Chain A
């Protein structure tokens, strides 16, 4: 299935969880936050949140700013 991760179309295995996606990307849940289809997914829900075809995932972090 296809999903959009930070604006990039990516091919993912059916039923991929957010936790699995983050692991594939080499990310640990600390220091990031995630929204799927413009809704924030709590860190505690990463394991059980399964992605669907066409989902838009945003993964963010804090950067320098004023």
Chain B
């Protein structure tokens, strides 16, 4: 019934992309990833500490035969920083994938649309498969698509807020107009949020805190997997029309004790 998710040259069976941040332990993270059924996980790029340069890195905890790694440019505030971070990530991970994130405000972590679009143009020119985190704005998403991004990733709500899909109408419009995959990124707090996003018709959901900050991240990983699958199936199935008044499911004729 449903095909795979294609993002540029990449093809995924799972429509759930998950992060690697904020887990109580790396062992819990690994189990949560497994329970979520994800095939793509995000990592951030940071300077090493010069005082303690030895030791394991995040890559030692990710099975790259199982998960495609999606590095991000989280924390960048200018297109220039984001482009260099992406280029370093490409050298480190030997991937052309990049989750482009250029932050415009430290309190809301809302993206800086102008810098994001500028960076997208440059990264596409440089051969990257660009997945930009962006506001739930159809025009911004169109600009990113025109720049050559392989997907657009409007936020459901601020990063780490768990508020769910705050503007389902915008997300629906973005999906209706986009010809690249739409991935809802950020703000999903629980399974119903993920299911709602998928019921709107988006192609995938990306989340981190929703799983990692649950009391039981492994159970929530599984809940999110089921929610994404359920939401996708419900979207494909086509929901019934909403109506104001009741419509009986059982026959209203031949009732017992009724007078003829």
Chain A residues packing against B (C-beta within 8 Å): 5-8, 25-27, 31-35, 38, 40, 42-43, 58-66
| Of A7, A27, A42, A64, the contact of B47 (CB 8 Å cutoff) | A7
Total chain B interface residues with beta-carbon distance under 8 A: 42
Q: Are A62 and B59 in contact (CB under 8 A)?
A: yes
| Known contacts A6-B47, A34-B91, then 17 further A-B pairs from the complex at CB < 8 Å, ordered by chain A residue | A8-B50, A27-B48, A31-B59, A35-B84, A40-B87, A40-B90, A62-B58, A62-B71, A63-B45, A63-B46, A63-B57, A64-B20, A65-B19, A65-B21, A65-B208, A66-B160, A66-B206
Q: Check B163 for interface membership: any CB of A closer than 8 A.
A: no
Q: Are A59 and B48 in contact (CB under 8 A)?
A: yes
Q: Check B116 for interface membership: any CB of A closer than 8 A.
A: no
> What would be 5 A-B contacts, judged by CB atoms less than 8 Å apart?
A33-B91, A63-B57, A64-B21, A65-B20, A66-B186
Q: Are A6 and B21 in contact (CB under 8 A)?
A: no
Q: With A27-B53, A31-B57, A64-B22 known to touch, is A6 a contact of B48 (CB < 8 Å)? A: yes
- Give CA–CA (A38, B29) in the complex, Å: 33
Highest count of chain B CB atoms <10 Å: which of A25, A32, A60? A60
Q: Are B48 and A62 in contact (CB under 8 A)?
A: no
| Of B29, B50, B207, the contact of A5 (CB 8 Å cutoff) | B50
Among B34-71, those with CB < 8 Å from A are 42-48, 50, 53-54, 57-60, 69, 71
Q: Are B92 and A66 in contact (CB under 8 A)?
A: no
Chain B residues packing against A (C-beta within 8 Å): 19-23, 29, 42-48, 50, 53-54, 57-60, 69, 71-72, 74, 80, 84-85, 87-93, 159-160, 186, 206-209, 212
Q: Are A62 and B50 in contact (CB under 8 A)?
A: no
| Of B57, B72, B160, the contact of A61 (CB 8 Å cutoff) | B57
- Closest B residue to A31 by beta carbon equals B57
- Give CA–CA (A32, B74) in the complex, Å: 18
